Every structure is written in structure tokens, then in C-alpha cells.
Amino acid sequence: MSDLFQLLADLHIAYERHEHPAVFTIEDCEILKGMNLPGIEAKSLFLRNAKGTEHYLIVVDGQKRLNIKELEAKLGATKLSFASPERLMKYLGVTPGSVSPFALINDTTKEVKVFLDTDVFAHEQVQFHPLINTATLVLSAKDMLRFMEATGHSWQEISL
């Protein structure tokens, strides 16, 4: 995790760090609402295709319900499902509940395809877990995109 904070410092990315009890689902994030954090609460999903040959990081507004069939059509993928905890650790180096674009720092072979919901990055500030689910970082959406660029990842915006 120190690599993450070192990269943020190297990129001169400002953020607010907020500690909280562990959260594993978007429903668990209700605890964050009481903290009145600025920015949009985003959810990050790590999915795989039917054969397990493609892996996707999908970032969407935390209040949206994702239609998997619609997502499959937009990605040109078949039978998307959540990747196992083992795949999550192998590709992003995090455990369930800690998925976020910050985990791209661990995808050194650039195997994960990244798709961002247009609505998330239309906001000035965004909220993501910093590789653990007991903290949330708030930073500008532009800085989050700069972070992803610095990891060598490209992304595609999609409307979900």
C-alpha cells in the first residue's frame, strides 16, 4: 500500500483520507453517508467473461443498479460474472470489498480492461478505497484519471 501513497505523492495528487469500519458492499457504505464525505460514492466491480480469459474493472455510480445483460452487450462480452477472490488477488492484488481503480497499480501486466461510467467522472470529486476497505480517499475526478494514466492503463467511458 505504501507504493500507492508514494505514487500519489509523486503525482502531486491531493486527497482526503477518511478511516471507517470495514465495508464490503455498497449497502455497507451507508456508514459513509453519515460522514458527509464530498464527491460521488462510486462502486467498482471486478468481472470476468465466461471463459475467464478477459477481466474487467467497471466503475459506476454507487446508486445505480447495474444491468449485467446490458453491460455484456456494451462490452461485447459473454456471461459476465464476478471474479473469484483468487482472481481478484492475482490481477488486482486486493481482497473482496477493496476493489477500486487504485488497485490498477498492482496490474503490472495490464490485463484488466477498465470501463468508467460517464456519470461518475462527470462529478468534481470521487470516493474510492485505497486498496483496503477500512478507509476512503476523496480526490478530484481529474486526478483519479491521472492516476490511472500513470499506472499505464487506458479506459473507455460507457454510459450505464
Q: Residue 158 pairs with which residues in a beta bridge?
A: 117
How many Cβ atoms from other residues are within 10 Å of residue 30's Cβ?
Answer: 10
Q: What percent of the chain has pLDDT over 70?
A: 91
The pLDDT of residue 31 is above 70: no
Contact 113, 55 (CB under 8 A): yes
Average pLDDT score over residue span 17-27? 75
Domain count for the chain, please give it: 1
Q: What pLDDT was estimated at residue 63? A: 83
The pLDDT of residue 24 is above 80: no
The pLDDT of residue 27 is above 80: no
Contact 146, 11 (CB under 8 A): yes
Q: What pLDDT was estimated at residue 1? A: 58
Residue 106: pLDDT band by 50, 70, 90 thresholds? Answer: very high
Query: Domain range for residue 50?
Result: 2-158
Residue 41: pLDDT band by 50, 70, 90 thresholds? Answer: confident
CA distances from 53 to 18, 73, 79, 149 (A): 36, 17, 12, 23
For CA atoms 31, 47, 5, 10, give the dihedral sign: negative
Could you tell me the CATH number of the domain that includes residue 130?
Answer: 3.90.960.10
Q: What pLDDT was estimated at residue 29? A: 60
**Comparing 147 with 66, which gets the higher pLDDT?**
147
Cell of 41: 460514492
Contact 58, 113 (CB under 8 A): no
Task: Work out the mean pLDDT of the chain and round it to a whole number.
Answer: 90
Candidates 120, 115, 118; CA nearest to 42 is 120
